[in-house]
Amino acid sequence: MSTTRTGTTAANIEKAAHALERFRAAPLGHFIAGRPQPGTSGELFDDLSPIGGNRLCQVVCGNEQDVDAAAQAARAAFPAWRQVPGESRRALLHRIADLIVARSEQIALIECMDTGQALRFMSKAAERAAENFRFFAERAPGAADGLALPAAEHMNYTVRQPIGPVAVITPWNTPFMLSTWKIAPALAAGCTVVHKPAEWSPLTAMLLAEIVTEAGVPPGVLNLVNGIGERTGRFLTEHPAIRATAFIGESSTGSLVMSQGAPTLKRVHLELGGKNPVIVFEDADLERALDAVIFMIYSLNGERCTSSSRLLVQRSIHDRFVARLAERIGRLKVGHPLDPATEIGPLIHARHLGKVLSYFDVARDEGAEIRCGGRPAALGGNFVEPTLLTGARNDMRIAQEEIFGPVLTVVPFQDEAEALALANDVRYGLTAYIWTENAGRALRMAHAVDAGMVWVNSENNRHLPTPFGGMKASGIGRDGGDYSFDFYMETKNICLAHGTHRVPRLGT
């Protein structure tokens, strides 16, 4: 067991057990109109530990009435919340950020235990969530700002107003941080929210609801319903009081969210899956590229939408680069998520482990080589060995499908044209990472690759004003900066006449 600034494993486990006690005491319900609510369904499901599969908590599965109560609470709170001046919303959002920071250790420990993500990454989850609130806090006063668009005899100007109550539906991989990425701009814009967290990691969503209330945000502005996606999530996306759905999850679920919202003409924002290429040319700074390739697929257990799960590497350096990769992968530390030394924790759920393991058979059947890993890790639970698949072709399933685990597929390429063709020959288009010291090539590739976000000579490095989102099956819409307000707000044009133009006269 190791010690770092994030404590010792034993001390962390003890603190986590203490933090989780409240969830053992009673089933986790909803949070509606400023209060915890047990719901009306009486139906419960288990939230299981990724480490040993034991039950962390029982969770209420929201039925149609529960979803309706949450949506009605959001509808009732909207008229007053939209009138709260931007400066006051700014102060409230900063207060939320302060409270998140004050509870950051508790949030990190619970998040690790619920998701299996390693503490070295989750210790920053609360900080990043707080940053999201601070960033959109500062933008709240200007959220309604528009443009002046004068014509000869008319003055046009635009204003933005909040779209109304919105649904926020989030996945299980880094739930706390991801939910704030949606909820902070929604609240800054003046929208009210019903949040449905993922059924495999629902715990920290309740902490956020409590924090938002403690900060002084009025009841009904942020509501939470727990439940199973196909039912609770579906009811929410169908509810007529909900004007828009901000969704993060799988591409196939994104399609359902769109169709479920179609009868009520809901606006949808979809952040979906990826099979993101990291393209390493022979002229790259190979040491930095190696670090970034490893970080972008093996951090967060590879359960990250922006993971560089497809390594396209130039043939001239392929063997050398892959040998270095294999050596480093062999040294990755798989362990308890609360061990500060752990780099890879257990996968979220036994079912997800089964999915990831199934790709090792697919790799063998397709004729690829399992160069590292390819088995459950000896620790039991949902642990899996970090895996490197080589000798792959881009048309293999291991190069086309999102595995969402610590599994890297390597495909060699000959030249720039082939690299581009391989990069784009996939249904997804979330991110791309390009490694070359040739500036012209970097520009050519960056402009031609099908990806909503491109990093050149860098791992994923987020800057909150920049747009975040994907092309093709990776999503619709952008988050970040002002782009978030395009989703959570309506743009209205107001046209005033100077009183000089000729009004057409009929019936004279």
Q: Which residues bind ligand NAD (CB under 6 A)?
A: 169-173, 178, 196-199, 229-230, 233-234, 237, 248-250, 253, 256-257, 260, 271-274, 305, 402, 404, 430, 470, 475
Cα separation, 296 vs 412, in Å, equals 19
Q: Tell me the chain's radius of gyration from C-alpha atoms.
A: 24
Q: Which is nearer to ligand NAD, 50 or 233 (CB)?
A: 233
Distance in Å, CB of 351 to ligand NAD, minimum: 10
Q: Which is nearer to ligand NAD, 12 or 431 (CB)?
A: 431
- The pair phi, psi for residue 468, each rounded to 5°, is -125, 125
Nearest-10 Cα torsion for 486, 95, 82, 478? 10
Residue written as tokens 């020959």? Answer: 425
Catalytic residue among 112, 305, 372, 459: 305
Q: Which is nearer to ligand NAD, 404 or 413 (CB)?
A: 404
Both tokens of 88, joined, read 């006051």
Cα separation, 471 vs 345, in Å, equals 30
- Residues contacting residue 215 through CB under 8 Å, at least 6 positions apart: 92, 95, 96, 98, 99
Q: Which is nearer to ligand NAD, 62 or 373 (CB)?
A: 62
Distance in Å, CB of 67 to ligand NAD, minimum: 11
Distance in Å, CB of 196 to ligand NAD, minimum: 6
Nearest-10 Cα torsion for 222, 223, 224, 228? -120
112 in catalytic set: no
Distance in Å, CB of 316 to ligand NAD, minimum: 32
Q: Would you say 455 and 276 are in contact if contact means Cβ atoms under 8 Å apart?
A: no
271 in catalytic set: yes
Three-state secondary structure call for residue 268: strand
Distance in Å, CB of 492 to ligand NAD, minimum: 29
Q: Which is nearer to ligand NAD, 290 or 297 (CB)?
A: 297
- Residue with nearest beta carbon to ligand NAD: 229
Catalytic residue among 111, 199, 238, 271: 271
- The pair phi, psi for residue 413, each rounded to 5°, is -135, 160
**Residue 239 CB neighbours (<10 A):** 25
Determine how β-strand 193-196 pairs with β-strand 166-169. parallel
Q: Which is nearer to ligand NAD, 289 or 430 (CB)?
A: 430
Distance in Å, CB of 274 to ligand NAD, minimum: 6
Cα separation, 204 vs 447, in Å, equals 39
Active site positions, annotated: 271, 305
